[in-house]
Structure 1
């Protein structure tokens, strides 16, 4: 099978996970919540943006003034336009990238 974009490759992998015994998005989220060490702020925001896009869709709140909340808002807003499946697939890829150093 030939893919033209990285996004198409990731979605294919995600859909393949659904058809096999590989962990689901929800299982991966639980594993990430239970990391032994906390990810850096930047790494957390990467997880957060994809999680919100996967579970809520495009950012639907006003930009907050608080700096910490604004960082989360920006992480989520930066994922606008991704489908839920795309966002889940990217979240799983982010998990795979960071899991070895935090599990």
Structure 2
């Protein structure tokens, strides 16, 4: 699974069109869960809007194993490749 995940990480960088914001958030959350596991630091402060948003979407993946997150990431990238092309 690791090889497929690493390939998907590279492929998402060369899509013809950048995915929509919601798709990018999902990619981020799955990537962080796949590489780091559950979020392991406190939620950023109220003035760090971007950091809070990233923390929130990553925290939604809490409890998902790294392998499950890698598989979900690969599946999402395949859908994005079909949608946006390479």
Unaligned runs of 5+ in 2: none
* Larger relative contact order, structure 1 or 2 (CA cutoff 8 Å, min sep 6): 2
Alignment RMSD: 1.6
What is the count of residue pairs matched by the alignment?
83
| 5+ residue gaps, structure 1 | 1-13
Larger CA Rg, structure 1 vs 2: 1
1:90, 1:77 → 2: CA distance?
Answer: 16
Question: Runs (4+) of structure 1 moved beyond 2 Å?
Answer: none
Per the normalisation by structure 2, the TM-score is 0.85
TM-score, structure 1 normalization? 0.72
2:72 corresponds, among 90, 93, 96, to: 90
